[in-house]
Structure 1
Amino acid sequence: MGKYMALLLAGLIGIASGMQPSINTALGRYTGVKGASLVSFCVGVTAVFLLNLFSGNLNQLKGLTAAPWYLWLGGVLGAFMVYSSMYVLPKIGAAAMISVLLTFQLVTGMVIDHYGWLGTPVICLDWMRVVGAILLLIGVKLIVR
């Protein structure tokens, strides 16, 4: 995948992650937060299973037992995000929640990049990145009133 295709896909991921909390919160009005979380993950697991099944990638799961235990926490973090967002969104709104979420996500990503944690390429924190984070915080302040 080329750089521009990756950027386009990242944009689509942004749209999806912007929509997901609102969709889950709306579903939660019918099922409750726990029910909506369960439905969200069951549908997601089914979609990922079918994608792997039809693309022939299920055999890659053989390496799972060699992975360190903490790499399994991605699912727990995802569940926390989905579940918690359904409590936060009705209190502060979608734009406020997502602006705070993305700002903290980006700052966390910059720390991970700087230290090369979890096998990521090392991208040192420089003044441009710090200014970018400060501008995001200013943006959050403008959105959250």
Structure 2
Amino acid sequence: MSDPSVRLLTVSAAAVVLFGLLGGVVAAVQSQMMGQFEQRVGMMAGTAANFIVGAVVMVVILLAIRGPTLAEWGEVPPYLFLAGVTGIVIISSIAFTVSRVGVLAGSMLLVTAQLTGGTIIDHFGWFGASVREVSLTKLLGIMFLILGARLVLR
């Protein structure tokens, strides 16, 4: 019989991969939807619709699962609420970019920038991230991403 802790790690890793893949596919669908919003009502109105609908759905979910308490909300450092502002930049840039260059090229630009930024954040441990130093392998990966973005944007 195998060690259950090893199986748990495998199931946990599979869940991370599957959830990440789901998020990626849904991001592509959302990108196209936001591009359509941008063409029909403009970038800012489309972004507002995205956040209004998302907020309503999240409030319903939070009420259904009964969490978190007001005390728990009070423990959140105020700067973390700026994530909502960063979300506006992300969604607006998706709407603007995808409506002009398509989902593939727009996603490639955004993902390349996101992963490059993520590498820098990890390396320096910014915003409470665990420090994960940049290696030659990671730098090569970033270079390939940039090359891939260039090829896709031709």
Confirm or deny a common fold (TM above 0.5): yes
For residues 56 and 83 of structure 2, the distance between their equivalents in structure 1, rounded to whole angstroms, comes to: 17
For residues 49 and 43 of structure 1, the distance between their equivalents in structure 2, rounded to whole angstroms, comes to: 10
Maintained 8 Å contact 2:34/2:95: yes
Worse-matched range after superposition: 108-117 or 22-31 = 22-31
Partner in structure 2 of residue 123 of structure 1? 132
Unaligned runs of 5+ residues in structure 2 are 1-10
The answer to whether 1:19 aligns with 2:15 is: no
Q: Which of 51, 67, 70 matches 2:61?
A: 51
Partner in structure 2 of residue 88 of structure 1? 97
The answer to whether 1:107 aligns with 2:107 is: no
| Cα RMSD for the two superposed structures | 1.8
Q: Percent identity of the aligned residues?
A: 26
Structure whose alpha-carbon radius of gyration is higher: 2
3-state SS of paired residue (1:122): coil
Partner in structure 2 of residue 135 of structure 1? 144
Work out the number of aligned pairs and report it. Answer: 144
Maintained 8 Å contact 2:38/2:96: no
- When normalised by structure 1's length, the TM-score is 0.88
User: One-letter code of the match for 2:64?
Assistant: F
- When normalised by structure 2's length, the TM-score is 0.84
Partner in structure 2 of residue 71 of structure 1? 80
For residues 31 and 144 of structure 1, the distance between their equivalents in structure 2, rounded to whole angstroms, comes to: 26
For residues 54 and 40 of structure 2, the distance between their equivalents in structure 1, rounded to whole angstroms, comes to: 19
For residues 30 and 36 of structure 1, the distance between their equivalents in structure 2, rounded to whole angstroms, comes to: 8
Unaligned runs of 5+ residues in structure 1 are none
Could you tell me how far 1:85 is from its partner in structure 2? Answer: 2.2
